[in-house]
Amino acid sequence: MFDWKWDFTWEILPRLVYATGNTLIAAGAGYVIAVVLGLMLALAQRTPSRGLTFTVREFVEFIRSTPLILQIFFVFYVGPQFGVRLSPWMSGMIAIGLHYACYLSEVYRGGIESVPKGQWEAAIALNMTTAQKYRRVIIPQAIPPALAGMGNYLVGIFKDTPMLSVIGVAELIHTANAIGSENYRFLEPYTMVGIIFLAISLPAAGLIRLFEGYVRRKLGL
Amino acid sequence: MLDKTGFPLEMTGEDTPMVSFRKVRKSYGALTVLDDLDLDISAGEMVSIIGPSGSGKTTVLRMLMTLERINGGVIYVDGKPLTHMPKGGQLVPANQRHLRSRRADIGMCFQHFNLFPHLTALENCMEGPVQVLGLSKAEARDRSEELLEMVGMISKKDQHPSRLSGGQQQRVAIARALAMRPKVMLFDEVTSALDPEVIGEVTNVIRQLVSEHNLTMLMVTHQMGFARDISDRVCFFYGGRIEEQGPPAELFGNPQRERTQQFLSAVREAV
C-alpha cells in the first residue's frame, strides 16, 4: 500500500521547484499589494470624512466576511462582464492582495491605536501637518506592534496561494495535480508539496520574530 | 475693528498682551471646565497657574496649544486671533491652515514628556526644525546641540528616551520645544511625573530660561515654592475661573479670598 518511489520523486522535483518559485512570486507580489493597500485602507478610516470612513470600513468587513476563493472567481470570471479582462496571474494577485489588505488594515489600525495620545499632542505642539504626523511620528511607532500580525499574514498569504490553482495559476498545488493526473501517482507530488510548504513556513515564522526584535531595537523601543 | 460679537479682529497698540483669553468657555457635555475666562499675559511675563485638580488649569494650556477646541470666546496670541480667523469682517472658527500658521508661536512641555521614542534626544530636537521649519540638517543640528548643551543633556544626545531618566527626558523635551523658537512656552505640570530628587534639574532649567531669555511663559504647577520663586504673577484657579491673582509675594503671603486661603493651607499641610 505504501510504495514510495524515489526515482519518481527525483523526476518530478524540478517541476515542483519551478512551481515553488511561482508560489513565492504569487505570495510576494500579493503581499506587497496587501501591505501598501492595507495601510491606505487603515488611513482612509481615520480621515475626518465620515462617509469615506464608513464606506471603507464596510468594504473591509465585506471582504473579510466572504471567502477568498469567491473573490478570486469574481475577479477572474465576473470581471470580464464589466470589461475587466485580466490574466489568471493578475486576477490572482489582485484578489489575494485585496483580501489580505483588508486583514492587514486591521493590524495597522491596532498599531496606530496603540500609539499613546501624548505622541499626537507632541506632534501638534511641534506644529506638524497631518502627513508629517503620520509619516514621522505615528507610523514608525505603529509598525513594531503590528509586525507580529503582519508576519502571520505573510505566512497566511503563502499558504493561501493554492487557491489560485482554481483559475489556472501554475503554483505548487496546480503543478502537483497536473503531475498526479499525468502519472496516476499522487502520493509523491502531494507529500513533496507538503514538505516544501513546511520547509518555507517554519523558518519564515522564525525569521519574522528575529526581524521584529531587530526593528524594535533599531527604533529604541 | 470689532466683529459683531464684540471681539476685536486684531489687537494693536503698545500694550498688546502676548496672550489674551477673552471670555473663553470650555465644556465637556454638561461639565463646564472654563467659564468665561479672561486672562492677559504680557510679553516676557512668567505666569504660574495653581489650583485644585479639576479647576481647569491644564485646560488653559491645552486650548492655547490648540490641542482642544474652545466652545466660546477668542484666544489671541501676539495680537492676532488664534482660535478664530477674520473672514469678511467677522471672526469665524479657525481652519487647520490658520491654526498651523498661528500655532508656530507656541511651544509646550508635557507632564509625561511625550518625547518620540523612536528618535534619539538630538533627533527629537531636530525633528521640528527640519520637518516643520524647513531648516537644513546642519542648521537644525547646531541649534539642537546648543539647546541640549543649555539643558545639560549634550552628553546624552545620541540616546533614545527609553535610556533616559524622567528628569533627563523632560530636559530634552524642553530643548525640543525651544528648538522651534516659540514666543510663548507652556509648561504643563512638568515636574509632576518626576521622582523628587530629579525635580531640581528640571526647575533649574526653567529658572535659567526665566532669567536669561525673554520668553513669555505660562506654567501649571503643584510646586508652590517654585511658583513663588520665579513667577511674575500667580493665578489661583477655582471652578473654571480665576479666583484670585497677583504677584507671588501677595498671593502666597496675604491671600484675600477664602478659597485661596483654604487651598494654600491644605497644600502647606500636605508638605
Q: What is the ipTM, given to two decimal places? A: 0.93
Structure-model confidence comparison of residues A2 and B213, the more confident one: B213
B contacts of A137 (beta carbons < 8 Å):
116
Which of A24-28, A37-41, B13-17 tops mean pLDDT?
Answer: A37-41
CA distance A127 to B105: 10
**Which H/E stretch holds residue B20?**
strand B19-28
Kindly give the interhelix angle for B166-178 and B121-131, rounded to the nearest 10 degrees: 20
- Tell me whether residues A140 and B180 touch, CB distance under 8 A: no
Rounded Cα–Cα distance for residues A73 and A88 (Å)? 10
Is residue B71's pLDDT more than 70?
yes
- Between strands B184-188 and B216-220, the pairing is parallel
Nearest CB among A121, A128, A141 relative to B110 is that of A121
Contact B67 A121 (CB under 8 A): yes
- For residue B109, CA distances in Å to A109, B119, B192 come to 28, 17, 12
Record the cell numbers describing residue A134, joined without a space: 503620520
Measured distance CA(A63)–CA(A56) in Å, rounded: 11
Tell me, rounded to whole angstroms, the distance of Cα A150 from its chain centroid: 9
Cα–Cα distance measured from residue B188 to residue A48, given in angstroms and rounded to the nearest whole number: 28
pLDDT value for A1: 54
In chain B, residues 78-107 whose CB comes closer than 8 Å to chain A: 96, 100, 103-104, 106-107
Phi, then psi, of B160 in degrees rounded to 5: -80, 155
The end-to-end CA distance of chain B, in Å, is 50
Q: ∠B21-B27-B29 over CA atoms, to 5°?
A: 165
Query: Taking CB atoms and an 8 Å limit, are B116 and A137 in contact across chains?
Result: yes
**Which grid coordinates belong to A8?**
519518481
Q: B67 and A141 in contact by Cβ < 8 A?
A: no
Mutate to test the interface with A, among B114, B124, B159, B183 (most CBs of A within 10 A): B114
Q: Give the whole-number percent of chain A exceeding pLDDT 70.
A: 99
- Rounded CA separation A165/A175 (Å): 9
Q: How confident is the model at residue B26 (pLDDT cuts 50, 70, 90)?
A: very high
Q: Does A49 touch chain B (CB under 8 A)?
A: no
- Nine-digit cell string for A13: 522535483
Three-state DSSP state, B136: coil
DSSP one-letter code for A164: G
Q: Indicate the SS3 state at residue A66.
A: coil
Q: Which residues are bridge partners to A186 per DSSP?
A: none
8-state DSSP, A138: I
CA distance B270 to chain A (A): 29
End-to-end Cα separation, chain A, in angstroms: 56
The larger pLDDT score, comparing residue B232 to residue B271, is at: B232
Per-residue pLDDT tens digits for B155-205: 999 999 999 999 999 999 999 999 999 999 999 999 999 998 899 999 999
pLDDT band at residue A95 under the 50/70/90 scheme: very high
Residue of chain B minimizing CA distance to A217: B118
Q: Residue A219: closest CA among chain B residues belongs to which residue?
A: B118
DSSP-based three-state secondary structure for B236: strand
Position A221 scores a pLDDT of: 65
Closest partner residue to B66 among A122, A124, A126, by Cβ? A124
Output the nine-digit C-alpha cell for B79: 495680537
Instruction: Say yes or no for a CB contact (<8 Å) between B114 and A136.
Output: no
pLDDT of B149 reads 95
Could you give the CA distance from residue A60 to residue A42 in angstroms, rounded to a whole number?
Answer: 10
Task: Report the residue from A132, A219, A220 with minimal CB separation from B131.
Answer: A132
Contact B56, B49 (CB under 8 A): no
Q: Minimal Cα distance from B104: which residue of A? A: A127
**Would you call B100 and A126 a contact, using CB atoms and an 8 Å cutoff?**
no
Q: How far apart, in whole angstroms, are the C-alpha atoms of residue B19 and residue B30?
A: 28
Of the candidates B43, B98, B56, B60, the one whose C-alpha atom is nearest the C-alpha of residue B215 is: B43
pLDDT in tens, A173-188: 888 888 888 888 888 8
Residue B232: predicted pLDDT: 94
Q: Do A220 and B162 touch (CB under 8 A)?
A: yes
Which pLDDT score is estimated for A37? 95
pLDDT in tens, B222-265: 999 999 999 999 999 998 899 999 999 999 999 999 999 999 99
Query: Which residue is closest to B176 within chain A, CA to CA?
Result: A126
